[in-house]
Amino acid sequence: MAELTEHELHFLYTQRIDESAVMDCSWMRSHGYKREMEQEGYLWCIAPKSCYAGHRLRSRAGHCIQCDTARIAFVKRHYDRAYIYIAGSLELKVVKIGNAIWPERGVAALNSRYYGGITDWVMLYHAKYEEAGKI
């Protein structure tokens, strides 16, 4: 088991990632670890190879989360439980599919922001999904 360095532990702490959520893939082959992570349900790992900057922490997609912390929010959002909604406008006969934590607020925000030049957005459908980003 590879040990996380003090620097890595501090990084994980600042990004609110529990160290138990990091899979040790340091001993694996570069081409096999992403599939292993998926099977084990991990989003983060100690990668077999460091990035060009010497970091070891990666997302399941293989991106260095230390070089690009925006990846963390992206991945978390992808796997978060959230509502998928379909909103529609009768006036312009269009639909919009989105995800939101509070779908009613999301549709209200579309109207107040004049989204797509439309102010008659109504909720047509919404349902809660475990991994909303996948849907």
The answer to the question of residue 61 lying near Zn ion (CB under 5 A) is no
Which strands form 44-46's sheet, in the order they lie side by side?
Answer: 22-24, 44-46, 57-59
Query: Which residue lies nearer to Zn ion by CB, 7 or 105?
Result: 7
- Pick from 54, 52, 48: which is nearest to 33 by CA? 48
The answer to the question of residue 59 lying near Zn ion (CB under 5 A) is no
What 3-state class would DSSP assign to 121?
A: strand
The answer to the question of residue 66 lying near Zn ion (CB under 5 A) is yes
Span near Zn ion by CB under 5 A; candidates 64-72, 85-93, 104-112, 120-128: 64-72
Residues of span 34-53 touching Zn ion by CB under 5 A: 51, 53
What 3-state class would DSSP assign to 20?
A: helix
Q: Contact at 8 Å (CB) between 69 and 16?
A: no
The answer to the question of residue 23 lying near Zn ion (CB under 5 A) is no
Query: Which residue lies nearer to Zn ion by CB, 55 or 96?
Result: 55
Span near Zn ion by CB under 5 A; candidates 6-14, 18-26, 67-75, 99-107: 67-75
The answer to the question of residue 25 lying near Zn ion (CB under 5 A) is no
Q: List, as one string, the DSSP characters of 75-105.
A: HHHHHS-EEEEEEEETTTTEEEEEEESSHHH
Give the binding site for Zn ion (CB under 5 A): 51, 53, 55, 64, 66-67
